[in-house]
Chain A
Amino acid sequence: MTNNNPLPPKERMKIPRQRMPEQASAERRVNFAEVNLGLSAALAHQEALRCLHCKSHHCFTGCPVGVKVKDFIELVLAGDFLGAAAKIREDNVLPAVTGRVCPQEEQCEGCCVLGKNGEPLAIGYLERFVADYERQSGRVGLPPRAPLTGKRVAVIGSGPAGLSAAGDLVQRGHEVTVFEALHELGGVLIYGIPEFRLPKDIVRQEVENLTRMGVEFRTNVVVGRTVTVDELLGERGYHAVFIATGAGLPVFLNIPGEHLCGVYSANEFLTRVNLMKANQFPAYDQPIYDCRGKDVAVIGGGNTALDAVRTAVRLGAKTASIAYRRSEVEMPARVEEVKHAREEGVQFVMLTNPTEFLGDDRGWLTGMKCQQMELGAPDKSGRRRPVPRAGSDFVMPVQVAVVAIGNQGNPLVQSATPDLRTNPLGYIEADPDCLKTSKRAVFAGGDIVTGGATVILAMGAGRRAAQAIHDYLSHGTW
């Protein structure tokens, strides 16, 4: 591809990284609208000018699905935004989502050479920009569908893994039905990640695109209960099954008082707001505990914890804190989320580990007994292990606590499919390349195989599964 950049490399490096326009923190604390407003075409062009068009294109290797970053940036520079979006879609079918939620600093941008001496190219912002441009233009270039093969595939779960597999399979001419347990499609993109980071209309639009491509969606079907995998492969006439049920089983701390009113799992807290719209109660019927004027603590340090605490801010909490047992550098949450949270007034109480929830005689949470931690030797994950400091107990007054320390695999499908091999944590065993499970014609991918990971990794798994399923359906050999 030709280089559309008129500037010599030295000039390019003088341009500062463009800033993402965003809602002012005082304003966004009281609404659920998206925080980042998106680049204008002018800002996008200015940012794209910074790209060095490297020969070794590191950015490409940093992206888990191999988005051709350099090529799409070229198209942005040429003003061909639709072309740029189509270029991304070759490898990534949800660019408006990943442009917003990928941990770019560890992936594409983490590998950008500009980052060595300055700030990396804002690849995520540009990806989001072209995807939004494409969506707003109403001219999403849907890929053509191959002639029908007569083969039918059942996809279980409509998160990013399921959606991307469905898109690829339908393109190859297979008939695809996606079965989803909830009443809305999108998985964590709908019930977990809040509106202020990922507007739900974007997810709905992507689902709509897949419907137009020919994917059939069936909500309110809990596989393992409403129908089993064996029935799908038997009387229901599917030739292959892809299990993409995510890691939706909340882990609790298992400390005294966890049953108190006011103690939530992050899944419940976020689902009530995102899926059920409890923030709009009583216009929507599902309530959430009224956080106005309350002290809210969220336990954990990942994206889920940050989403929960920023949701608490928007629900009117008097104070909203993150309690994390390590220090801030170990927090797995994205840098941008931590920055946004801090601007919104979230307090970070580090090296703090709750040991007991305290309640009143009516069974309501009043406080959280915690111990202070210090960092010891590194553990298996390479992070320094937190160890309690003797005699450091203190009580944090809170009326709402949200436990966001992780999830495990939901066992519903596995328990109804005895010949499906799982590991001790309850995740399904699948070949990392072809995603085959121990059961013929059954593939699995995304968080149900890897444990809680990222949107883009789940999508990558979905695409690899689609390829493997296509091969299997074409040759019939397992």
Chain B
Amino acid sequence: MYRIIEARFLAPEVKLFRLEAPDIARKQQAGQFVIVRVHDHGERIPLTIAASDATTVTLIVQGIGKTTRLLNTLEAGDAVRDLVGPLGKPSEIHYYGTAVVIGGGVGTAIAYPTAKALKYAGNRVIAILGARTRDLLILEAEMREFCDEVRVTTDDGSYGVKGLVTDQLEALVNSPTPPDFVLAIGPIPMMRAVAEVTRAPGIQTVVSLNPIMVDGTGMCGGCRVVVDGRSQFACVDGPEFDAHQVDFKILSARNAMYRAAEQQALADLNQHPPELHRCRLADAQPGAVTPP
């Protein structure tokens, strides 16, 4: 059992958790993730470590399906069944000059630790944060703390500039001082679009891929992605790869592999509210549950 020390919503369906995991916290580097199993019948899902201190790791979770929604019902004092990591290769941090970090939706949480590390390495860091609408924007203040510039776009224009993150990127690419490095993390169509913007000018671009994983240790091969025509295991060879070499079409197709089952699981969850699961966790940790 891994205890939740802090839990709060950052946006609708986006929740921040701080969990007690000293071994993982001590080792974590930017770009690495954990595998979480919420309860004893649960599946194993990967989540990026957004930050860590001496004894805790911070995860930022977007509730999209059964497991993430279930996780997002938990509160401080609850616990998750299993937590393992840190997994994956750390981000490669270098001095590039100007680095643009693009976060789409919850991708901002995944990009956050790497953006910070890029800043520490001396880069000028420009963040482009995109969201569908103002309410869904996360970590803007945190990014502003260290970024040299933060640009916000919303699809509906409710905040920042109306439009897509790629509009902002194009402007930067076509400016007199184009970026030397781009990191893009978000929905697959966004990452693919970013790759197309930087391909012709040949700007080094890295994306963090989110294939379906099971073990996260290289044992199953389920997370394989095609990069430069070769099969790679995202959990050990990645999750960050050269955006210009990634076959996004295959990634999208593979991520849809369990759609029918995922939809059924979510429908079941909506019918049977997750209180049941809460109780089971509470039983395992008497007195550990604070009332919501």
Residues on A facing B (Cβ under 8 Å): 181-183, 219-222, 225-227, 248-250, 252, 254, 258-262, 264-265, 267-268, 271-272, 276-277, 281-287, 289-290, 362-364, 410-412
Could you say which of B37, B83, B85, B254 contacts A225, with CB atoms under 8 Å apart? B85
Cβ of B221 < 8 Å from any Cβ of A? Answer: yes
Stretch at the interface among B39-47, B91-99, B137-145: B39-47
CB pairs A–B below 8 angstroms (28 shown): A183-B37, A183-B44, A183-B82, A220-B82, A220-B84, A221-B84, A222-B85, A222-B87, A225-B87, A226-B84, A226-B85, A254-B231, A259-B226, A259-B231, A259-B254, A260-B253, A264-B221, A276-B43, A276-B214, A277-B41, A282-B261, A282-B264, A284-B43, A285-B42, A285-B43, A287-B261, A364-B253, A410-B217
Residue with the greatest number of chain B CB neighbours at <10 A, chosen from A267, A272, A362: A267
Residues on A with beta carbons closer than 8 Å to the beta carbon of B44: 183, 276, 286
Cβ of B66 < 8 Å from any Cβ of A? Answer: yes
**Of all chain B residues, which has the CB nearest A246?**
B219
Contact B217 A181 (CB under 8 A): yes
CB distance from B56 to the nearest CB of A (A): 15
With A183-B84, A261-B257: A222-B217 Cβ-Cβ less than 8 Å: yes
In chain B, positions 148-174 with a C-beta closer than 8 Å to chain A are: none
Residues on B with beta carbons closer than 8 Å to the beta carbon of A264: 221-222
CB distance from A142 to the nearest CB of B (A): 27
CB distance from A170 to the nearest CB of B (A): 23
Residues on A with beta carbons closer than 8 Å to the beta carbon of B262: 287
CB distance from A195 to the nearest CB of B (A): 16
- For the complex, what is the distance from the CA of A364 to the CA of B256, rounded to whole Å? 10
Cβ of B215 < 8 Å from any Cβ of A? Answer: yes
- For the complex, what is the distance from the CA of A445 to the CA of B257, rounded to whole Å? 37
CB distance from B245 to the nearest CB of A (A): 14
Contact B250 A265 (CB under 8 A): no
Give the 5 A-B CB pairs with smallest separation, nearest first.
Answer: A363-B253, A287-B261, A268-B220, A286-B43, A220-B84
- For the complex, what is the distance from the CA of A182 to the CA of B215, rounded to whole Å? 7
Contact B215 A271 (CB under 8 A): yes
**Of all chain A residues, which has the CB nearest B87?**
A225
Cβ of B67 < 8 Å from any Cβ of A? Answer: yes
Cβ of B236 < 8 Å from any Cβ of A? Answer: yes
Contact B83 A250 (CB under 8 A): no
**Of all chain B residues, which has the CB nearest A362?**
B253
- For the complex, what is the distance from the CA of A220 to the CA of B239, rounded to whole Å? 20
Could you say which of A220, A268, A285 contacts B83, with CB atoms under 8 Å apart? A220
In chain B, positions 21-49 with a C-beta closer than 8 Å to chain A are: 23-24, 27, 37, 41-44
- For the complex, what is the distance from the CA of A283 to the CA of B277, rounded to whole Å? 12
Contact A267 B221 (CB under 8 A): yes
**Of all chain B residues, which has the CB nearest A226?**
B23
Cβ of B260 < 8 Å from any Cβ of A? Answer: yes
- For the complex, what is the distance from the CA of A78 to the CA of B89, rounded to whole Å? 60
Residues on A with beta carbons closer than 8 Å to the beta carbon of B260: 290
- For the complex, what is the distance from the CA of A258 to the CA of B225, rounded to whole Å? 10
- For the complex, what is the distance from the CA of A284 to the CA of B224, rounded to whole Å? 24
Residues on B with beta carbons closer than 8 Å to the beta carbon of A411: 218, 236
| Per-position binary interface string of chain B over residues 213-242, scored 1 when its CB falls under 8 Å from any chain A CB and 0 otherwise | 011011111101110000100001000000
Cβ of B268 < 8 Å from any Cβ of A? Answer: yes
| Per-position binary interface string of chain B over residues 115-136, scored 1 when its CB falls under 8 Å from any chain A CB and 0 otherwise | 0000000000000000000000
In chain B, positions 185-220 with a C-beta closer than 8 Å to chain A are: 214-215, 217-220
Residues on B with beta carbons closer than 8 Å to the beta carbon of A219: 82
Cβ of B265 < 8 Å from any Cβ of A? Answer: yes
- For the complex, what is the distance from the CA of A363 to the CA of B211, rounded to whole Å? 15
CB distance from A185 to the nearest CB of B (A): 13
Contact A271 B219 (CB under 8 A): yes
Contact B221 A252 (CB under 8 A): yes
- For the complex, what is the distance from the CA of A261 to the CA of B255, rounded to whole Å? 9
With A181-B84, A285-B67: A271-B37 Cβ-Cβ less than 8 Å: no
Residues on B with beta carbons closer than 8 Å to the beta carbon of A267: 219-221
CB distance from A409 to the nearest CB of B (A): 10
Could you say which of B218, B220, B231, B257 contacts A271, with CB atoms under 8 Å apart? B220
Contact A285 B265 (CB under 8 A): yes
Contact A412 B268 (CB under 8 A): no
Contact A250 B249 (CB under 8 A): no
Residues on A with beta carbons closer than 8 Å to the beta carbon of B257: 261-262, 289
Residues on B with beta carbons closer than 8 Å to the beta carbon of A362: 253
Residues on B with beta carbons closer than 8 Å to the beta carbon of A249: 218-219
Residues on B with beta carbons closer than 8 Å to the beta carbon of A283: 41
- For the complex, what is the distance from the CA of A250 to the CA of B217, rounded to whole Å? 11
Contact A259 B43 (CB under 8 A): no
